[in-house]
A and B are shown apart, each in its own frame.
Chain A
Amino acid sequence: MRVGIEVGGTFTDLVAIDRGRVTVAKVPSTPARPDEGALSSLAAADIRLDAIEDLVHGSTVATNAILERKGAKVAFFVTAGFRDLLLLQRHDRKRIYDLFYQKPEPVVGRGDTFEIRERIGADGGIITPLDIEAAKQVVGSALAGGAYDAVAICFLNSYANPDHEERIAGLIRERHPDVFVTYSAEVTREFREYERATTTALSAYVQPVIDSYISRLEAELGSRGFKRNFSIMQSNGGRLPTDGVRRSAITCLYSGPAAGVMGAVRQAGISGFDDIITLDMGGTSTDVCLVRGGKPDLSTETEINGLPVRTPVIDIATIGAGGGSIIWVDDGGMLRVGPESTGADPGPACYGRGGTLPAVTDAHLLRGTLKAEAFVGGRMSLDHGKSRSALTPLAERFGRSLEEMADAALRVADANIVRAIQLVSTERGCDPRDYVLVPFGGAGPLHAARVAEELEIGTVVVPPNAGVLSAFGLLAADFLRYDSYTRHLIVEGDVADEVREIFAAMKGRAVEAFAELGLTDALAFTFTLEMRFVGQAFEIPVTLDETALKDLGVETLLELFVAAHHQMFAFGDAGRQRVEIVSFRLGVSAPPGPVPTLAEGHGMELFTTEGEIFDRGERTGCIVMSRSACEPESEIAGPALVADETSTIYVPGGWTGGPDEHDNLVIRRIG
């Protein structure tokens, strides 16, 4: 049996697949002890732990340790003269007219930062040699009191030559074996010292937390009979065996959204949809991601709590739009939705938990696109009256009926989602019309069709069990790690040979690292060059497969780069400007074995009735049915609402479709 367990902020989701039989469980999370949620989901699904061959886990442990500032006590070692690296940051403000602006707070204090005399140049040459005896003094007195759980090391230009960092790391590992040591060159080998230093500090900050969490969970699972493969989800869309994650804890940040994307990739992929935009809409936020040819775009520019993280992660845009997003009007009279949310508690007014502010869920209820009786499989009752009173003041202010007001608010919410999708598509030079939209999460399938219309996307694919797709994504994820290496090369002469040599060496090291984790079979590789015109500072990735790398020449490299630059910036000419390679990224992956497919659970009552909705200014009748009542190959013509256990799919007028042979509900716009 294969089991994926995703611990989120509110719910813990489990998907278990045993020879094609799918079991799904959703239990409340215990925010302070995420492992409890994991264990109780196993109990709820009635799973015998000794029957599990493959267990994959995703959690918010790393993310929460940073957001709640509950990470390790970290000692930070820097090049002499640069003690304030983490406080100086980039000297800019994110809100330019805010007089009371405060910088994001580093996870390491100024008093916990120590300077080491050494200096390496941009070319990797030694300018000031490391005086190891003096360094021993500094390290010794800093760590003597035993006040620190972890150490982070970031020296200037170490991306070009990590020797000094490695020697200090070796020194500390030898003398203080109980302290976790992280140095920047092993986390990310990219230039820009503040970003690299912060990534390193964050990694050191979460590492002991992740380590003890994994140990605790392993012990608990082991005592209940589990003894097979245990792996952890990462934000790059892949998983790693627990030993691998212990060494690079930073890659666990935001693994939940990444798991959702991988679930969508897999589930849409089996129906033949490889170019997709994922739309994961939950209670407080919406995550969107662009996937080309079954591969999600990667980004090395995420941040957490305002602090940059420079390890490759799936390029997901997040906005504050969810079922709980508040509908309000600003002091200029403009209707707004979010980013403030009513949260899980009190939640939208209709939850009847004391909330009085109107939220997106209230608007759906008033407009008729959510049916009180069918919400989350009928397990939760919604109070229509409370939604009415919450939205009435806005309706009066705009001189509209309640239905019209609800409809207007949802249009604004859809527009917010459209902007997020444009961020990952049009802004990256991709036309959303070439993609299908794959919604999931509790509220995604409700909004997908209207959002698709705004973007002129013609097809929406709703996976089965869309509310637990992230947990399925855990099972679908490959084992994956990325390594990067900074080396400037002008694209000319026999540069292609050098590229092949560098990648061959990186490949050798990656194979070795995977072998240490017991991963040796069916390895696959991606080869990415970060390139730019000489003089620019931001690179554009050009990704090659093994065949392309073998046949690579200067002409092809220039063509690939110029095309990518044009797609992003709509200009650039290699005839007038020289092109350089700045860094190399190698991805190594191993498949987790045959991935089972996700099928619709059949726990829900079959029903088909008629109802009424109000949409785009018109009241119309509509079919309301349970997903399990959709016959294979039947055709549902909108307007229709299809409810399953975890979400409701809205098929507006002008849309039609039905379930395909893989249990995906595929709806298309007519004409």
Chain B
Amino acid sequence: MNLDPIDQAVISQGLVASAREMGVKLIRSAYSTILREASDGSAALLDRHGNVVAQAELIPMQLGPLGATFRPCAETVPPDELEEGDFYINNSPFEGGQHLPDVFIFSPIFFDRTLVGFSASVAHHLDLGGGAPGMNPDATDVHQEGLILPPSRYNMERDWNGGPFERLIAANIRVPELTIGDFNAQFAANAIGGERVKQLCARYGAGTIMSVMDSHLTYSERRMRAAIAEIPDGVYHGEDAVDDDGINSKPLPIKAAVTVDGDDVAVDFAGTADQVLLNLNCPFASTVSAALAAVKAVASSPDIPFNQGLAKPITVTAPYGSLLNPKPPAPVRARMIPAFRAFDAVVKALAKAVPDKVIATGFDTTHSICMSRLVDGNYSIYLEIYGGGYGAGPGSDGSDGIDGPLSNCSNIPVESLDQQYDFFRVTEYALRPDSGGRGKFRGGSGLRRRFEILADDVTLGHYSDRYRIAPDGAFGGEPGDLTRTRIIRETGGEIPVASKTSLKLNRGDILVTETSGGGGYGDPAERPAERLRQDFESGLVTPPAAHAAE
């Protein structure tokens, strides 16, 4: 069908708006704090082949590979066999999924019995069973991490709303009221997206809508290719490392070779460390997502709509059996950490080609704190993700205390925690002075949070990084400070907490966790006096004289 470019401009906005509305409704009707307050979920519209056409801008990591998560579903039950009320579901890390808590649901959209596309949502579920509430940092295979929902097709009417599939899930998870509520929020978001696409079909015709979807993909691809063409051709290398595997203290290097050739980019992670025993393995779909996000963030304007078309010029490879393409049944819960290092390695490689378009390395870590407690047969689970400082750029300081570039979780209001949890209290939540790397532009400051534990037998699960290897500065900028966590015991004494661990906390214990600041950009000696004055006045940077006096 020959589509008028003006129709394209007018109608594609409708698709983008529908995807955005899905995201809003997903978050607003959710139940768990991780989804409703921290917004750890995403939504998108797909064409009938499973290509992402438009998305709600929520979490980059979850959005990049939606198509890869969709395909194994379509291989299980071909889309032309789907009926009204059916949905696909998938969270399987070795079949296109990411880690188990991120459950992807795809609902077909029919107009006049023709399949026009899919509405999709993904949510991070607070608990999906497994060896420990919320997360099991000790898992040595994926089976210990929770319930695997392999790519499959179910039907709302038959299987959900009290049906067998809903009951199966509810029986295998620890906080079913919240989790089933969050699943319902996903179904509701999908239903809204489907409704909006049907309205567009009714107005413009299903054929036109499908053509608009096609051209929206080529539109993003065209813009992405134009942006890539601006980068000088060449092969660029970048490297970063995960602190350790949680058992030994050896760093796990992540290496990226980025080849820019005209308007194509190839990212290869050859030379990256082998997969490890604990949960730091990154399923390939997550690796692809991280590489795409890095190339998009550096190369293009934020205005280009992210969809499958944008991904077309970019190919990603990683050795099978490595940290970035592990073999089953490797545990993968903390996959964001190697994914962030993959992101960092690609940005560092591109820094050599386009120094004005990059930032120094930031904290770029999923610093997750999970605390849980079983009372009278009911679990209470708290899970929150902390960011830190962003890397500084060529014209601006890094943002202070903000979630990393692959993620975008909000913090949970302390007043919401006070309503929800009675076994701990947050007594400090602050920026961490002097944690950002110095430079002509300063790295963003990390965070500090202090918890007072109010009950015995609290299980702490924690994974993070940057405890040993600090975020690098760029072009003469200094690195950010290291991350650290410690427990001040009621019984006396202070014990350091490792970056990947689980342990017991009791009443009276104090847990203090501090995340890294970002790296600085450019020579600190070139920092303008006015900015230095502001640094000192705010107290985020201590004047050198005060350091000497200590």
CB-CB under 8 A from A335, the residues of chain B are: 5-6, 9
Chain A residue contacts of B430, Cβ below 8 A: 81-84, 88
Residues of chain B within 8 A of A426, CB atoms compared: 196, 199
Interface pair B5/A333, CB less than 8 Å apart? yes
Partner of B222, one of A157, A332, A568: A332
> With A87-B401, A111-B539 in contact, is A99–B220 under 8 Å at CB?
no
Which residue from A91, A535, A568 sits with its C-beta under 8 Å from B177? A535
Which A residues lie within 8 Å of B14 (CB)?
Answer: 415, 419
Nearest Cβ on chain A to B240's Cβ, whole angstroms = 16
B188 contacts which chain A residues (CB < 8 A)?
Answer: 569-571
Given the complex, which residues of B lie within 8 Å of A408, measured CB to CB? 6
In the assembled complex, the CB of B225 is this many whole angstroms from the nearest CB of chain A, namely 10
For B411, give the chain A residue with the smallest CB separation.
A91
Q: Does B359 contact A (CB under 8 A)?
A: yes
A to B contact number (C-beta, < 8 Å):
201
Which residues of A from 392 to 424 have beta carbons under 8 Å from B? Answer: 398, 408, 411-412, 415-416, 419, 422-423
Q: Report yes or no: A412 in contact with B10, Cβ–Cβ below 8 A.
A: yes
CA distance A274 to B305 in the complex (A): 39
B17 within 8 A of A: yes
A96 in complex: contacting residue of B60, B222, B393, B538, CB < 8 Å: B60
B513 contact set on A, CB distance < 8 A: none
CB of A612 within 8 A of chain B?
no
Instruction: Indicate whether B57 reaches chain A with its CB closer than 8 angstroms.
Output: yes
Are A99 and B358 interface neighbours, CB within 8 A?
yes
Select which of A82, A96, A538 is within 8 A of B57 by beta carbon: A96
Contact yes or no, A92 B538, CB < 8 A: no
Q: Which of chain A's residues have a CB closer than 8 A to the CB of B58? A: 96
Closest to A111 in B: B537
Within B359-416, the residues touching A (CB, 8 Å) are 359, 386-387, 390, 393, 395-396, 399-403, 405, 408-411, 413-416
A93, B539: Cβ atoms closer than 8 Å: no
Let me know if B415 and A193 touch, CB within 8 A. Answer: yes
Interface 9-residue window, one of B127-135, B143-151, B294-302: B294-302
- Evaluate contact between B431 and A84: CB separation under 8 angstroms: yes
The residue that B195 contacts in the complex, of A81, A96, A193, A570, with Cβ under 8 A, is A570
Cβ-based interface call for B271 (8 A): no
Residues of chain B in range 256-308 having any CB-CB distance to chain A below 8 Å: 293, 296-298, 300-304, 306
Chain A residues contacting B86 (CB-CB under 8 Å) are none
Q: Which of A99, A103, A111 contacts B538 (CB 8 A)?
A: A111
Instruction: Assess whether A634 is interfacial by the CB under 8 Å rule.
Output: no
**For residue A174, which residues in chain B have a CB less than 8 angstroms away from its CB?**
none
Asked whether A536 lies within 8 Å of B30 as measured between CB atoms, the reply is yes
A99 touches B298 (CB 8 A): yes
Q: Contacts A81-B429, A88-B447, A570-B188 given: A412-B6 contact, CB under 8 Å?
A: yes
In this complex, what residue of B is CB-closest to A535?
B31
Interface assignment of B456: CB less than 8 Å from any CB of chain A = no
Within 8 A of A (CB), among B156-204: 177-178, 181, 184, 187-188, 191-192, 195-196, 199
| Interface pair A102/B399, CB less than 8 Å apart | yes
Interface: B226 (CB within 8 A): yes
Q: Confirm or deny: A330 has a beta carbon within 8 angstroms of a beta carbon on chain B.
A: yes
- A97 B30 Cβ-Cβ under 8 A: no
Known contacts A102-B396, A191-B413; decide if A536 and B36 are in contact (CB<8 Å). yes
Contacts A103-B402, A411-B10 given; does A91 touch B431 at CB 8 Å: no
- In the complex, the answer to whether B31 meets A97 with C-beta atoms within 8 Å is no
Q: Which of B21-29, B98-106, B486-494 faces chain A?
A: B21-29
Residue of A nearest to B390 (CB): A101
State whether A538 touches B358 (Cβ < 8 A): no
Q: Does B418 contact A (CB under 8 A)?
A: yes
Q: Mark out the residues of chain A between 11 and 67 whose CB falls within 8 Å of any chain B CB in the assembled complex.
A: none
Task: Tell which of A83, A93, A412, A533 touches B402, judged by Cβ atoms closer than 8 Å.
Answer: A93
Please determine whether A84 and B401 come into contact, CB atoms closer than 8 angstroms: yes
Taking CB atoms, residues of chain B closer than 8 Å to A533 are: 31, 181
Cβ B13 vs Cβ A415 within 8 A: yes
**A157 proximity list for chain B (CB < 8 A):** 415, 418
Q: Is A109 an interface residue when CB atoms closer than 8 A count as contact?
A: yes
CB of B293 within 8 A of CB of A156, answer: no
Query: Is B405 a contact of A569 with CB atoms below 8 Å?
Result: no
Residue interface bits A217-228, CB-to-B below 8 A is 1, else 0: 000000000000
5 A-B pairs whose Cβ atoms sit less than 8 Å apart in the complex = A81-B430, A82-B430, A99-B390, A330-B303, A568-B25
Interface residue ranges, B against A (CB under 8 Å): 5-6, 8-10, 12-14, 17, 21, 24-25, 27-33, 36-37, 39, 57-60, 177-178, 181, 184, 187-188, 191-192, 195-196, 199, 219-220, 222-223, 226-227, 293, 296-298, 300-304, 306, 347, 357-359, 386-387, 390, 393, 395-396, 399-403, 405, 408-411, 413-416, 418-419, 425-431, 447, 450, 537-540
